[in-house]
Structure 1
Amino acid sequence: MREIAANRLPAHGFDSFEGLPEARRGGFAKGAFAQDLPDVGEAELHRGGFEDSLPGFLETHDGPIAFVHEDADVYSSTKTILDLAFDRFAPGTIIHIDEYFNFPGWQQHEHKAFTEFLERYEGGAEHIGFNALHEQVAVRLT
C-alpha cells in the first residue's frame, strides 16, 4: 500500500484490526491477528468491520475499483466485501484473493464467496496468477 500511495495513486485499506471475526482453520481463534494500525505511508486506513467502514467510503468515493487485495480470511467477511462493492467492479478490475484454495475446506470460504459473486456478475473472470505452494489467486474481471 505504501508503494502504491507513494506513486500518487489512491490506496485505501479496510480492517477492524481486531483480528479474525470468527475461528478459522489451523486453530486460529476469533481475534487472532489483532494488531495496532500499521504505518502505511500516504495510504489511508479505514478502521472497522467491512460492513461498517466500506459503505461510507463507497458513498464518498465514486467510480470503479481498479484493484482489490482481498485478505478477509473467511466466507462471511469476503461475501460482505464483494456484496457491498458489487456495483464498483468492472471489466479490468483485478482481484487478488489471499486464501482462495489449496487448504482443507477451501471450498467453503473465500472461494465460495467469489463463486457466488461470479454467479451475479454479468461478465466473467480470467485467472492471471496463482501461488501453487500456498493459497493465493489473482483474477481480472472481463
Structure 2
Amino acid sequence: MATDTQDRVVAKLQALVRVPTVSDRDPALVDTAAFDRLLKELADQFPRLHAELELTRVGTHGLLFRWPGDSAEMPVVLMAHLDVVPIDEDAPWQHPPFGAEIHDGTSGAAAPSTTRVAWWRSAKRSSCSWRPGTRPLRTCGCPSVATRK
C-alpha cells in the first residue's frame, strides 16, 4: 500500500508526463502551448530552483539552471530532455502514451516517463540539497533540451 508521500510523488510525476511536448523538425507542427504548460508545471513543482539558481532560457523552451559551486573546475552536468519524438498513433498502445496511468504498479506512459523522471530526479535532488548560504563543491548545471525553433 502506497504512503501519502509516495502518492504525492506519483501525482507530481504524472502531472509532468501528461503534458504532450512532442517535438518535430517542422516548428509549425510543434504545440508550443504544451511546452509552456510543462515549464509552468516545473516552476510550480520546483519554485526554489527557479528562484535561487541562475536560470537561462535556451531558445523558446529550453532551460539551463546553473548552481555556482566553490569551484568551476570539472563542473557537474545533469541533463534531460523535455521533448519527446512524435507518437505513432497507429501503434497498438495498451494505454494512452501520455496518460500516465498506473497499471499493475507501473506506468503505462510512453517516452515522457523516462525523460521527465530523469529531469524531475535531478531537480528534486538539487532542491533537497540546497540550503541558504551553502554552495556545492563544484558548479552544477541542469540543462534541458527542448525542440528547436
Per the normalisation by structure 2, the TM-score is 0.26
Larger-gyration structure (1/2): 2
Q: Which has the higher helix share?
A: 2
Higher relative contact order structure (alpha carbons within 8 Å, sequence separation ≥ 6):
2
